[in-house]
């Protein structure tokens, strides 16, 4: 019972009153549906962009958790390296929380062609391990990927190839420092060219076999970092704990991607806040229309409301009836808005090509392909905010209607 009337009776009254002026109701429904669509659709685009930025950043690190010598991050030289992982660490990485891991030698170097030279980061890698932590072999646009840790060739970025004014199959010279601070150099033949998600990645790294680089730098058995990948970049707590236990007693530091790249972590936090602010702002614009619609419906029914009160309907029942009208209006608008959002995101789920503004996107660390991320949490948040704020907003006209005096209301024309 609600104000001496069953809730079912109040619901029927509210539903019928909602459609007494169907044009006004349809206009408000369209406004709510478009507002909800805008909330969810734009949130999916923004969430997709941020997720892509984080994932691209992790690929360039790469890995969700990394292990380094305690001084390596401040001074990424060959001196601050560590021994290759032993059997105990390898066994620990068989855990279900690990999707892949690799150890690499990563040092600053200079690459020289017959015409140009550039500074970059030389990565001595295990080819299979790199693939396990996220390197995609289909990014090789020319030549091939490394075949083993002692492969004598190198794989460079497409942009770097242009900077060096050289090509596939040409020889280049790589120079770096060995543990004795002596210059170590070696000639390599370019066997592959990769295309990074961001052009900056193509100029930042060159890949070579780990054993080959160790031999060049007189650093047999030495690595600069161990990268471990898990299932979810948002939840790396278990993975971090596992790696710390596997390296306990060793003079190393273990860091998650959030600690290694605070910018990406901040982007996630900003995005979560943006979603809530965006939804609230859109609804505030809709709330004026909602209040106006309900107030107009009340003004048209002043005499009717007074008559119902005179016949014994309590003010609380009037209030509940107006709130139910608002709830029905919001529910229909949410249903239409959610359907529109899903229908508009689904066709572009495989990505939107933004290559026209690729340079602008890269300034923000985003790729030219945007993959919308329609997350259930964002949809639930949008729907919850609309319902809660909608009901709160509807209290104004509902309270106004419940305060009419029967005699005064009936006397109004």
Do 100 and 212 belong together in one domain? Answer: yes
- Structure confidence at residue 359 (pLDDT): 53
Please classify residue 276 by burial: count the beta carbons closer than 10 Å to its beta carbon, then call 0-12 exposed, 13-18 middle and 19+ buried: middle
Do 297 and 407 belong together in one domain? Answer: yes
Do 308 and 271 belong together in one domain? Answer: yes
C-beta of residue 338 within 8 angstroms of C-beta of residue 383: yes
Q: Give domain status of residue 218, yes or no.
A: yes
- Structure confidence at residue 166 (pLDDT): 92
- Structure confidence at residue 366 (pLDDT): 55
Q: Angle at CA 108, nearest 5°, toward 215 and 177?
A: 50
Write the CA distances from 115 to 74, 112, 172, integer angstroms.
32, 8, 10
Q: Give domain status of residue 237, yes or no.
A: yes
Model confidence over 228-249: pLDDT tens digits? 999 888 888 899 999 999 998 8
- Structure confidence at residue 249 (pLDDT): 85
Q: Angle at CA 51, nearest 5°, toward 380 and 226?
A: 130
Last residue of a domain, one of 260, 291, 318: 260
CA-based torsion, 307, 311, 315, 320: positive or negative = negative
Do 111 and 161 belong together in one domain? Answer: yes
Q: Which of 49, 41, 7 is nearest to 368 (CA)?
A: 49
Do 118 and 97 belong together in one domain? Answer: yes
Q: In angstroms, rounded to a whole number, what is the distance separating the alpha carbons of residues 34 and 59?
A: 37
Do 96 and 186 belong together in one domain? Answer: yes
The helix or strand, by DSSP H or E, that contains position 318, with its residue range, turns out to be helix 315-345
Q: Give domain status of residue 1, yes or no.
A: no
Q: In angstroms, rounded to a whole number, what is the distance separating the alpha carbons of residues 164 and 159?
A: 9
Do 254 and 295 belong together in one domain? Answer: no
Look up the domain containing 188 and give its range: 63-260
Spell out a b/e string for 67-86, using b for 16 or more CB atoms within 10 Å of the CB, else e. bbbeebeeebbbbbbbebbe
Question: Mapped to the 3 state alphabet, what secondary structure does 284-314 carry?
Answer: HHHHHHHHHHHHHHHHHCHHHHHHHHHCCCC
Tokens of 376: 């259930």
Q: Which residues contact 213 (CB under 8 A, 6 or more apart)?
A: 105, 107, 122, 123, 124, 219
Do 238 and 277 belong together in one domain? Answer: no
Bridge partners, 142 (sequence order): 193
Q: Give domain status of residue 206, yes or no.
A: yes
Do 255 and 304 belong together in one domain? Answer: no
Please classify residue 56 by burial: count the beta carbons closer than 10 Å to its beta carbon, then call 0-12 exposed, 13-18 middle and 19+ buried: buried
Q: Give domain status of residue 300, yes or no.
A: yes
Q: Give domain status of residue 2, yes or no.
A: no
- Structure confidence at residue 2 (pLDDT): 47
C-beta of residue 14 within 8 angstroms of C-beta of residue 321: yes
pLDDT tens, residue order, the chain (413 aa): 444 557 788 888 888 877 887 888 888 888 888 888 888 888 888 888 777 777 776 766 678 999 999 999 889 889 999 999 988 899 999 999 999 999 999 999 999 998 889 999 999 999 999 999 888 888 899 999 999 999 999 999 999 999 999 999 999 999 999 888 889 999 999 999 998 876 778 888 999 999 999 999 999 999 999 999 998 888 888 999 999 999 988 889 999 988 887 777 777 777 777 777 887 788 777 777 777 777 776 777 777 777 777 777 787 787 888 888 888 888 998 999 999 999 998 888 777 766 655 555 555 555 566 778 888 888 888 888 888 888 888 787 778 777 767 766 566 65
Provide the number of structural domains found in the chain: 2
Do 94 and 192 belong together in one domain? Answer: yes
Last residue of a domain, one of 226, 260, 294: 260
Last residue of a domain, one of 200, 225, 260: 260
Do 128 and 205 belong together in one domain? Answer: yes
Q: In angstroms, rounded to a whole number, what is the distance separating the alpha carbons of residues 340 and 382?
A: 14
- Structure confidence at residue 247 (pLDDT): 92
Q: In angstroms, rounded to a whole number, what is the distance separating the alpha carbons of residues 315 and 201?
A: 67
* DSSP-based helix, strand, coil % in the chain, nearest 5: 55, 20, 25
Q: Which residues contact 99 (CB under 8 A, 6 or more apart)?
A: 132, 133, 229, 230, 231
The rounded Cα 45 to chain-centroid distance in angstroms is 9
C-alpha gyration radius of the chain: 31
Do 323 and 337 belong together in one domain? Answer: yes
- Structure confidence at residue 360 (pLDDT): 52
Q: Give domain status of residue 104, yes or no.
A: yes
Tokens of 133: 């932590």
């Amino acid at each position: 019972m609600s104000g001496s009337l069953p809730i079912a009776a109040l619901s029927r009254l509210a539903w019928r009153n909602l459609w007494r002026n169907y044009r006004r109701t349809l206009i408000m429904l369209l406004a709510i549906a478009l507002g909800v669509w805008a909330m969810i659709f734009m949130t999916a685009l923004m969430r997709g962009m941020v997720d892509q930025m984080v994932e691209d950043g992790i690929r360039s690190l790469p890995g969700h958790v990394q292990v380094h010598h305690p001084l390596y991050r401040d001074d990424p030289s060959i001196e601050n390296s560590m021994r290759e992982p032993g059997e105990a660490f390898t066994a620990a990485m068989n855990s279900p929380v690990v999707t892949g891991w690799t150890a690499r030698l990563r040092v600053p170097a200079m690459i020289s062609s017959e015409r140009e030279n550039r500074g970059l980061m030389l990565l001595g890698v295990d080819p299979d391990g790199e693939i396990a932590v996220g390197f995609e072999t289909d990014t090789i646009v020319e030549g091939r990927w490394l075949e083993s840790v002692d492969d004598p060739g190198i794989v460079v970025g497409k942009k770097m190839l242009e900077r060096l004014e050289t090509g596939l199959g040409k020889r280049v010279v790589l120079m770096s420092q060995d543990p004795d601070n002596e210059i170590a150099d070696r000639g390599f033949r370019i066997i592959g060219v990769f295309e990074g998600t961001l052009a900056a990645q193509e100029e930042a790294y060159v890949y070579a076999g780990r054993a080959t680089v160790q031999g060049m730098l007189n650093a047999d058995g030495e690595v600069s970092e161990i990268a471990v990948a898990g299932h979810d970049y948002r939840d790396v707590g278990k993975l971090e704990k596992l790696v710390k236990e596997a390296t306990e007693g060793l003079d190393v530091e273990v860091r998650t991607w959030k600690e290694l790249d605070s910018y990406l972590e901040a982007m996630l936090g900003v995005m979560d806040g943006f979603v809530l602010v965006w939804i609230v702002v859109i609804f505030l614009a809709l709330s004026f229309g909602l209040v106006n619609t309900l107030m107009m419906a009340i003004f048209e029914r002043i005499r009717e409301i007074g008559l119902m009160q005179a016949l014994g309907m309590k003010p609380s029942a009037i209030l509940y009836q107006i709130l139910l009208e608002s709830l029905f209006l919001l529910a229909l608008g949410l249903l239409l808005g959610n359907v529109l959002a899903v229908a508009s995101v689904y066709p572009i789920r495989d990505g939107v090509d933004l290559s026209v503004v690729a340079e602008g996107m890269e300034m923000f660390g985003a790729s030219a392909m945007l993959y919308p991320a329609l997350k259930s949490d964002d949809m639930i948040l949008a729907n919850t905010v609309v319902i809660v704020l909608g009901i709160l907003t509807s209290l104004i006209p509902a309270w106004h209607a419940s305060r009419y005096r029967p005699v005064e209301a009936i006397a109004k024309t």
